[in-house]
Amino acid sequence: MSARDETIAQRLLPWYDGHARDLPWRSLPGDDLPDPYAVWLSEVMLQQTTVAAVKPHFSRFIERWPSVHALAAAPDAEVMAAWAGLGYYSRARNLLKAAREVVRLGRFPDSEAELRKLPGLGVYTSAAVAAIAFGKRAVVVDANVERVLARFYAIADPLPGARKAIRCAADRATPDERAGDFAQAMMDLGATICTPRAPRCMLCPLSESCAGRLSGAPEAFSAKAGRRAVPERRGKAYWIERGGCVWLVRRPADGMLGGMRGLPDDGWSARADGSYAPPLSGSWTLLGEVRHVFSHARLVLEVLAWTGNAEPPEAGEWWPIARLDEAGLPTLFAKAARLARARRVPAR
C-alpha cells in the first residue's frame, strides 16, 4: 500500500466519526457491530433503490418481522405485498429463500465466501455484510465508492470498463481495521459530498490529494457509459368492479412482478406486447393509460373498465376498493388503480 492509498483511510475515518449518517440499520462509530439481519435486509433493499425510499420500508419490515427467524416463517404473499413499492421483486423472493437458508444453517454466515452461497447475495452484498456486520476486511464497492475512487485516482475510463481498476484501488485503500466503517464512510462521502453533479470539494476530507479535483474537472471522472436503449412495450390492464370491490389476480411466480397481486392483463412482458383476449367478453371502456419504466423495458399500459356483471373466469379475489392500499400492489398496478378510481364508470 502506497502513502497515497493510506491517505484515504487516514483522512476518511476521522471524518466519518463526526459525520456518519444516522440510519436505522446502522451502528454509529464506536458502537457495537450492528445486527447482521438488519445489515443484510437493508443492503438487499438498497439495491437499485434510494436511502429515502428504503427507510420507511425497512422500519415496517423490522417491526413486522424483527428477526431472520420471523421473516423465514412469514407467508410468501405477505412478504411480497410488504415489498410493494421497492421494485425489483426478485429481491424479495431471494430474501425469503436466504432467510430460510440462514434458519436452516442455524446462524448467519460471517465470511464473504459463505455469504455468497445465500440466494441473492452477490459480490457487493456479501462484502458489505461481512465488513459492516462482522468486522471482516472486505472490499465493498458500490456506485458511490466507484465515483469517489475514480475521481481520487483520476481513472478516466467510463463505467463499466473502469471497474477493474476501481476495484484494485479499493482493495489497496481498504484498511485491515474498521473495514466496515471505511466502507460506510466511502458511501456517505459519495452520497453527500462527492456527488455525481457539483461535488462539494471544499468540504471533502480527501480533496488535498484528489487527482480529479486537482485536474479542475472532477465530474469528468467515473462518467457512466451511455445507457442502452430499452424497448417500449404495450399492454392492457382490466378493472373489473362489483359491489365496491375490484377483481385482483396473483401473478405467476416466475414472471415479471412474480407472486404479486395485480389487475388482470393481456400477457404483456419485457419481450413482447400483450396479446391475450380480455378475461370477459362484452363492453369495455378505455379509462386512459399509465407508463412505467422497468430496468429492461418501458411499458405503456392501457386501463380498461368492465361494465357488465359476469363472474371473472380466472382465479383471483374480490378486494375492497376502499382498502386497496392494503393489497400490496406493485407500483405499476398502483398507478393503474389510481387512474381507474379517478375515471371509472359506475359498476352495474
Is it the case that residue 148 has pLDDT exceeding 60? Answer: yes
Q: 248 pairs with which residues across the strands?
A: 317
Asked if residues 41 and 118 have their Cβ atoms less than 8 Å apart, the reply is no
In a shared domain, residues 252 and 170: no
Quickly state the pLDDT bin for 220 (edges 50, 70, 90).
Answer: confident
Asked if residues 41 and 25 have their Cβ atoms less than 8 Å apart, the reply is yes
Is it the case that residue 226 has pLDDT exceeding 70? Answer: no
Residue 99, domain member (yes or no): yes
Which amino acid, one-letter code, is at 247? Answer: W
Is it the case that residue 347 has pLDDT exceeding 60? Answer: no
Asked if residues 120 and 94 have their Cβ atoms less than 8 Å apart, the reply is yes
Name, in order, each residue with C-beta under 8 angstroms of 145's C-beta and a sequence gap of 6 or more: 166, 170, 183, 186, 187, 190
In a shared domain, residues 178 and 260: no
Residue 260, domain member (yes or no): yes
Mean pLDDT across 251-261: 84
Residues annotated as part of the active site: 43
In a shared domain, residues 26 and 117: yes
Is it the case that residue 223 has pLDDT exceeding 90? Answer: no
In a shared domain, residues 171 and 237: no
Is it the case that residue 159 has pLDDT exceeding 90? Answer: no
- Express each pLDDT in 44-77 by its tens digit: 999 888 999 999 999 999 999 999 999 999 999 8
Residue 186, domain member (yes or no): yes
Residue 214, domain member (yes or no): no
Is cis: bond before 278, omega within 30 of 0?
no
What pLDDT is stored for residue 36 in this prediction? 97
Q: Are strands 245-250 and 261-262 parallel, antiparallel or unpaired?
A: antiparallel
As a whole number of angstroms, the distance between CA 205 and CA 317 comes to 57
Residue 206, domain member (yes or no): no
Altogether, the residues listed in the chain come to a count of 348
Is it the case that residue 257 has pLDDT exceeding 90? Answer: no
Which amino acid, one-letter code, is at 9? Answer: A
Mean pLDDT across 174-183: 95
Q: Max alpha carbon distance in the chain (Å)?
A: 77
Q: Where is 112: in which H helix or E strand? A: helix 112-115
Burial 152-177 (b: 16+ CB within 10 A, else e): bbbbebebeebeeebbebbebbbbee
Better-predicted residue by pLDDT, 44 or 282: 44
Phi-psi region at 222: left, alpha or beta (left = phi > 0; alpha = psi -120 to 50): left
Is it the case that residue 308 has pLDDT exceeding 80? Answer: no
- Domain of 288, CATH number, reads 3.90.79.10
In a shared domain, residues 182 and 243: no
Residue 198, domain member (yes or no): no
For residue 332, what are the domain limits? 232-343
- Express each pLDDT in 21-44 by its tens digit: 999 999 999 899 999 999 999 999
Enter the DSSP assignment of 254.
Answer: T
Weakest-pLDDT range from 35-44, 108-117, 281-290: 281-290
What pLDDT is stored for residue 213 in this prediction? 94
Mean pLDDT across 196-225: 90
What pLDDT is stored for residue 79 in this prediction? 92
SS3 224: strand
In a shared domain, residues 310 and 250: yes
Residue 147, domain member (yes or no): no
Name, in order, each residue with C-beta under 8 angstroms of 216's C-beta and a sequence gap of 6 or more: none
What pLDDT is stored for residue 346 in this prediction? 54
| Cα 223 to chain centroid, rounded | 22
In a shared domain, residues 102 and 179: yes
Residue 209, domain member (yes or no): no
In a shared domain, residues 172 and 240: no
Is it the case that residue 254 has pLDDT exceeding 90? Answer: no
As a whole number of angstroms, the distance between CA 102 and CA 36 comes to 11
Quickly state the pLDDT bin for 227 (edges 50, 70, 90).
Answer: low
Torsional sign, CA 334, 228, 125, 175: negative
In a shared domain, residues 38 and 187: yes
Is it the case that residue 348 has pLDDT exceeding 70? Answer: no
In a shared domain, residues 173 and 263: no
Q: What would the DSSP string read from start to end of 59-74?
A: HHHHHHS-SHHHHHTS
What pLDDT is stored for residue 88 in this prediction? 82
The mean of the pLDDT values for the chain is: 91
Asked if residues 232 and 198 have their Cβ atoms less than 8 Å apart, the reply is no
In a shared domain, residues 43 and 172: yes
As a whole number of angstroms, the distance between CA 58 and CA 86 comes to 10
Quickly state the pLDDT bin for 256 (edges 50, 70, 90).
Answer: confident
In a shared domain, residues 81 and 10: yes
Number of domains in the chain: 2
Is it the case that residue 230 has pLDDT exceeding 90? Answer: no
As a whole number of angstroms, the distance between CA 185 and CA 29 comes to 10
